[in-house]
Amino acid sequence: MAIDLDANREETIALEDKRFVSVARREPIGVVGAVIPWNFPLLMLAWKVAPALAAGCTIVLKPSELTSLTAVEFAQIVADVGLPPGVFNLVTGYGPDAGQPLVSHPTVEKVAFTGSVKTGSAIMKSAADDVKVVTLELGGKSAMIVFEDVDIVQAVEWIMVGVFFNQGEVCSSTSRVLLHESIAPQVLARLKTEAEKLIVGDPLHRDTKMGPLVSKTQLDRVLGYIEQGKQSGAKLLTGGARKGTQGYFVQPTVFTDVPLDASIWREEIFGPVLSVRTFKTEEEALRIANDTTFGLGGAVLSKDLERARRVANALRAGIIWINCSQPTFCQAPWGGFKRSGIGRELGKWGLANYLETKQITRFDQSEPWGYYIPPANL
């Protein structure tokens, strides 16, 4: 679905007082400061740069210090194709040295950020000083609810996609799975078998299903959460360790019977670690799924589409998948509830982030003015 960039840039508003004509005009917000994470460096760049430029803004981009080369290469392409100087700008470096000066600069009128809750909160506080417009995508701890009528084989495939895709370094990862108790033994048995088949190694090899984590820091973080999971009383179904001694590889890891207060159940891990619990009723599943400070994504697996839609509507999250997990389309809105962020990206919603609305009202000179009396309802 193509977006008409000129459509609705100006919209005439119907007024009761016909002596006046009022127009709502959408204009570029101005200079945009964008800060993106390391897990999808080119994708995150496109999600910020494309709508900003389409809206008519200029942009200054700060990529993660771990994945700056992608943005540097993009900047060279932009220069080669002849984009006017100053329209796209790149600043590399660490957060305190490059990111903070960017988001707090007085000429930056809009900040677009994807990353951690901690950094997003700091950006909100900084933006408040100048009352800047912000959009924030801050990750999540998404739940997948699996009902008793599913096809076991397909369900296990989607469970694995939801948590092991991109080594689990995905903000919307459905890393909490709720299984109906009647099918839990069959699902877990197959999940263990299939997870242990996954080839972890060089991502350039055709058969590899999971590559390394991004850094030693992230490796230590994920292994720390795995150790916390073992200490929490959860049962380790499979994995639970580093793979090999070289590189930042982690085994696909699944915990079952995870306590509701365990850190692996409540906190975003950003690694290939799945937490599983069972449920008896739809109401119980929804209560547990919604008991989180995050609200980015969620998934429902069921052959009963009426029930699936009902549960999808009841989940408190910005992106819900039915009978799948993680498909993403540039035409559909992306963003979350609660601590998962503010605003939406992609499609017409993403374009709107970079536009401001101006009211222009004129008096129709063909009508007599007289004394202006405001409407009684004002």
Whole-number Å distance between alpha carbons of 131 and 113: 16
In this prediction, residue 2 carries a pLDDT of 58
- pLDDT for residue 364: 77
Alpha-carbon distance of 172 to 275, in angstroms, equals 15
- C-alpha–C-alpha distance, residues 10 and 358, integer Å: 9
Question: In 10 A of CB 166, how many CB atoms?
Answer: 15
Same domain, 38 and 174: no
Tell whether 148 and 208 lie within a shared domain.
Answer: yes
- Whether residues 109 and 211 fall in one domain: no
Each residue's pLDDT, cut to its tens digit, for the chain (378 residues) gives: 555 656 568 999 999 988 899 999 999 999 999 999 999 999 999 999 999 999 999 999 999 999 999 999 999 999 999 999 999 999 999 999 999 999 999 999 999 999 999 999 999 999 999 999 999 999 899 999 999 999 999 999 999 999 999 999 999 999 999 999 999 999 999 999 999 999 999 999 999 999 999 999 999 999 999 999 999 999 999 999 999 999 999 999 999 999 999 999 999 999 999 999 999 999 999 999 999 999 999 999 999 999 999 999 999 999 999 999 999 999 999 999 999 999 999 999 999 999 999 999 999 766 565 555 566 655
Query: Which of 274, 297, 322 marks a domain boundary?
Result: 322
Residues 294 and 353 in one domain: no
Residue at 238 is within a domain:
yes
Residue 69 lies in a domain: yes
Q: Check whether residue 348 and residue 318 sit in a common domain.
A: no
What pLDDT is attached to residue 6? 62
pLDDT of residue 376: 60
Distance (Å, rounded) from C-alpha 234 to C-alpha 277?
A: 10
pLDDT of residue 299: 98
User: Is residue 78 a part of any domain in this protein?
Assistant: yes
Domain count, the chain: 2
CATH of the domain at 125: 3.40.605.10
- CATH number of the domain to which 223 belongs: 3.40.309.10
Phi-psi category of 62—alpha, beta or left, where left has phi over 0 and alpha has psi -120 to 50?
Answer: beta
Do 181 and 227 lie in one domain? The reply is yes
Residue 176 DSSP SS3: strand
Question: Is position 369 within any domain?
Answer: no
126 and 158 together in one domain? no
pLDDT of residue 368: 61
pLDDT at residue number 44: 97
This prediction has a pTM of 0.92
Clarify whether residues 134 and 149 are in a common domain.
Answer: no
Q: Do the domain assignments include residue 257?
A: yes
Residue 163 lies in domain: 143-322
Whether 134 and 148 map to the same domain: the answer is no
C-alpha distances (whole Å) from 3 to each of 6, 250, 352, 373 are 9, 41, 12, 41
Q: Let me know whether 167 and 245 are in one domain.
A: yes
Q: What is the rounded distance in angstroms from the CA atom of residue 350 to the CA atom of residue 52?
A: 9
Beta strands in 181-314 (DSSP E): 235-238, 253-256, 273-279, 297-301
Q: Do residues 118 and 64 share a domain?
A: yes
Q: Which residue has the tokens 């190694």?
A: 201
Residue numbers annotated as active site: 137, 171
